[in-house]
Structure 1
């Protein structure tokens, strides 16, 4: 199988150390052809494709616009890996597997307990919309790991969910295109403490847990050397 492009939406902000170390982890462990940054490109970043986008909406609207721009770009592989700048691949992979969190209804209580507001409402509205399409027990693909995405299938998902303010794009795509996959627990580490799963090949962080937590120390120590995507000295 040919390597896929790696597409990363990036918010505005000059530093973004999580992106720096995510790129180091992808270069070391995640086979890919070319990296595409959609949105803001930090000054230290080089050797990537760049698709500028306006970031004038909510973070959810901005990432939806970034996804559409990537799907419509003629130079990006028809199937690509969709990742965020806080996703780290800690062990070498032959290729990125398709992973999910299990049925949406089993994931919703986690966010309901956290009073997640718009995000939880978007999850429920996405689930209801999928039910209207005949998917009565859809899987949740809202994991903090890269996801293989076909551009035609994702555009279909974005069009179907265009009236949902906080569309869960990964889930909409996964269900409508029946991509299946393997179930795992989410790998996001929200806290600074030392207790997190170190056996998984994937990790994800919050800005605080990356900068000040044990998980960030582990990631930085694993990838101390600059990647080919970093201009030296920046």
Structure 2
């Protein structure tokens, strides 16, 4: 049985990255229902909508959204957790489990860039995992969909109730002992060419480089036709 897709969505009527992410999933990623959790743009049709309040930080809002999806009886017991800026560029038979390598290596990368709450959350999640017996955890903070078991994710979120910037994917992936294959992160941060290949299976973008960069143009060319999850006049 194909897994549902759960995608937390921030408030905002214009979300072109979501539009093209939905087109890419419809074309290339086998799935059941799509659950938009949080805000559903008026143009998004054929998706299930699970409203949530968005009054906290980005981390708190997405944690609330993931918890709501895990607690909803109609969401499949295993689902794919995605963001609205994750694109599946080529067909896959099923979504593999992927990770970014050891947290210690990812932490070194971000520590050189003064990453604020993100780095703090990484370190707090790492420390919690160490307390729970995972001394050298893997990072699952990739910009690709992630297979998730509802019960396991709820256990992970319960263990991190005291953290306001928990790295949910990393906490869950290690507690569930998912393993998986290591890849580099696929997030493209710049407008200029380079950093990606037109043969890449997965891509992710920042709003700016999606709107005005080479990677955004590539994604829009690939999925030029409207998909089943949008009104034709949007």
Q: Give the shorter-chain TM-score range.
A: over 0.9
Unaligned runs of 5+ in 1: none
Instruction: Compute the TM-score of the two structures, normalised by the length of structure 2.
Output: 0.99
2:84 maps to which residue? 85
Q: Partners in 1 of 2:33 and 2:113 — Cα distance?
A: 37
Alpha-carbon shift at residue 9 of structure 1 (Å)? 0.2
What's the RMSD between the two structures over aligned residues? 0.6
Once the two structures are superposed, the pairs formed by residues 1-234 of structure 1 within 5 Å of their partners are 2-198=1-197, 199-234=199-234
Q: Partners in 1 of 2:224 and 2:151 — Cα distance?
A: 38
Q: Partners in 1 of 2:207 and 2:200 — Cα distance?
A: 20
Unaligned runs of 5+ in 2: none
1:175-229, CA deviations, whole angstroms, 9 ceiling, x for partnerless residues?
0010100000000000001102213200000000100100000000000000100
Alpha-carbon shift at residue 165 of structure 1 (Å)? 1.2
Q: Partners in 1 of 2:38 and 2:51 — Cα distance?
A: 5
Q: Partners in 2 of 1:181 and 1:28 — Cα distance?
A: 24
Q: Partners in 2 of 1:174 and 1:138 — Cα distance?
A: 9
Aligned residues: 233
